[in-house]
Amino acid sequence: MQHSVSIRDLSLNFGNVKVLEHLNLDIAQGEFIVLLGPSGCGKSTLLNCIAGLLDVSDGQIFISGKNVTWLEPKDRGIGMVFQSYALYPQMSVERNLSFGLRVAGMPKDEIERRVARAAEILQIQPLLNRKPANLSGGQRQRVAIGRALVRDVDVFLFDEPLSNLDAKLRSDLRVEIKRLHQRLKNTMIYVTHDQIEALTLADRIAIMKNGVIQQLADPHTIYNKPVNLYVAGFIGSPS
């Protein structure tokens, strides 16, 4: 079977510091994978390697069977949503959604179709003419998800997309991200340090510690059969 994303023996050093070490991970088409671990364990670094925002020190990354290790981010077939919204402040929501497509030279009617679809899926149609400054945090994060959505990619990367939101919004958007995945059936790689997010969203959870995956399994297994004390302490039921 061809995997949606395959990470082969990936290492990344910042100077002498080994942040990721000989990491391997195979993700099936349509799978929702959560990378879970404490701050500093290398989650963002791994995601940024997959996105092409960081050069790997060693190893390979395959997306849909293609070796993308040295491809530009825009050529990898991924869409990324960050913790901070990173919207263009001077542009309307509609422009924020369409900007990348315009730059890529996509025909106008196709851009309109994609923006309308993303706006409908995320229920942000009433916001299209507003500027980011006039949106709530939750609305901004929907727009940020919309910007990944219009690119019509197979793989979505999320880096703690909800961590700047208050508890109520976080649980609302969590439900929406789950619904989005059920509708689009694309591959999701979702970074968080929040156990509840991981348990509710993931098909499989990868628990990370110091740049190494300690356990990769479905939420039920991680919770009930943690492989070691670290995993048990982080998420598992005390046994």
Residue (44 or 186) nearer to ligand ADP, CB: 44
Q: Select from 36, 37, 44, 51 the one that contacts Mg ion (CB under 5 A).
A: 44
Residue 142 contacts ligand ADP per CB under 6 A: no
Are 60 and 5 contacting, i.e. CB atoms less than 8 angstroms apart? no
Residue 4 contacts Mg ion per CB under 5 A: no
Measured on CA atoms in the order 191, 68, 49, 61, is the torsion positive or negative? positive
Q: Considering only 3-11, 37-45, 97-105, 135-143, which stretch makes contact with Mg ion by CB under 5 A?
A: 37-45
Which position's Cβ is nearest Mg ion?
44
Cα(93)–Cα(118) distance, rounded to whole angstroms? Answer: 12
Distance in Å, CB of 62 to Mg ion, minimum:
23
Residue (43 or 181) nearer to Mg ion, CB: 43
Which H or E run contains 20?
strand 17-27
Q: What are phi and psi of 2, to 5 degrees?
A: -85, 130
x-or-dash string of contact with ligand ADP, 16-55, rule CB under 6 A: ---x-----------------x-xxxxxxx----------
Q: Select from 9, 14, 90, 196 the one that contacts ligand ADP (CB under 6 A).
A: 14
> Residue written as tokens 């050529």?
75
Q: Which of 108, 205, 189 is nearest to 148 (CA)?
A: 189
The CA angle 124-130-98, to the nearest 5 degrees, is 70
Using CB under 6 A, list all residues that contact ligand ADP: 14, 19, 37, 39-45
